[in-house]
């Protein structure tokens, strides 16, 4: 699983940026962080190639 940031453009239905998650079964869903998620100590930053 991984997280991504979607920043809408002028043609998007959404008007504000949002975070989404790719699930284990290869689906993309909006993600709402819990306190446990935010305070976890195993975060990694992956830079684009």
Decide if 19 contacts 41 (C-beta within 8 A).
no
Q: How far apart are CA 47 and CA 39, in angstroms?
A: 21
Summarize the confidence of residues 2-14 as an average pLDDT: 92
Summarize pLDDT for 26-47 with one digit per residue, the tens.
999 999 999 999 999 999 988 8
Distance CA 2, CA 22 (A): 5
pLDDT the model gives residue 48: 82
Domain-wise residue ranges, the chain: 1-8+16-34
Residue 31 has what pLDDT?
94
- Nearest residue to 2 (alpha-carbon basis) of 17, 14, 15, 19: 19
**Residue 4: predicted pLDDT:** 92
Q: Are 20 and 4 in contact (CB under 8 A)?
A: yes
Q: What is the DSSP letter of 13?
A: S
Question: Taking 90 as the threshold, does the pLDDT of residue 49 lie above it?
Answer: no
């Amino acid at each position: 699983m991984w997280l991504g940031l979607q920043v809408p453009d002028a043609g998007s239905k959404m008007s504000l940026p949002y975070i989404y998650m790719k699930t284990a079964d290869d689906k993309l869903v909006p993600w709402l962080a819990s306190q446990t998620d935010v305070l976890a100590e195993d975060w990694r930053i992956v830079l684009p190639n």
